[in-house]
Amino acid sequence: MTDDEKETFQKALGAQSGADYEPIAVLATQVVAGENLAYLCRGASTDGAAQWDIVVVYKDLQGNASITGAAAFDLADIKTTDEAASTEATGAWEVRQASSGVAMTAEAAQAFTKAIASYDDLQINPLALLGTQQGDGTDYLILGTHNGATQDSAPAVFVVNVHESADGAAELIDESKLDLLAYVS
């Protein structure tokens, strides 16, 4: 996130009473009469538990900013799509390539790296560890961005499920495109 994007978020947050969000990354932007920015944020639910949100901030041409929407991730029901990444799929939102691992644990980052090592065409940049689940090993639910490096793909946000067994072996269970419009509309 740039300093300007952090400042824009703080301006918007200052105008919003009762909101408690920590911006992690800008997932996407949309040029309007000004700019809309979709921030991935850590938040807190009404019971105080940690949660992830996508917070949309509108910045007008004079630099004023306000929160225009916020949607929480329900980790049991994350909205994904099979639609190819395109302007139609993202509603003119431009997905940003954010810095790797801005909200990842070392264990999750290591499992992710091991799990995708054998996939040459899977170029997902991990951003945030959304959640973990213990069983016969650990499942990691990770949000990441794909840079659209191939000719027939556009940048997109992905949800990746990685399983690391007790012996340290890691495998990719699933990777799905986030339905960005379900969170920013």
- Please answer whether residues 67 and 15 qualify as being in contact, where contact means their C-beta atoms are separated by less than 8 angstroms: yes
pLDDT tens per residue, range 34-70? 999 999 998 866 666 668 999 999 999 999 999 999 9
Q: Which long-range contacts (CB under 8 A, 24 or more apart) does 80-85 make?
A: 80/159, 80/176, 80/177, 80/178, 80/179, 81/176, 81/177, 81/178, 81/179, 82/177, 83/177, 84/153, 84/154, 85/146, 85/148, 85/153, 85/154, 85/155, 85/156, 85/177
pLDDT at 126 over 70: yes
73 pLDDT tier (thresholds 50, 70, 90)? confident
Query: Whole-model pTM?
Result: 0.85
The full set of domains in the chain, from first to last, is 98-178 (3.10.450)
- Please answer whether residues 132 and 140 qualify as being in contact, where contact means their C-beta atoms are separated by less than 8 angstroms: yes
pLDDT tens per residue, range 129-160? 999 999 899 999 999 887 665 545 677 889 99
**What was the pLDDT predicted at 87?**
46
**What was the pLDDT predicted at 147?**
67
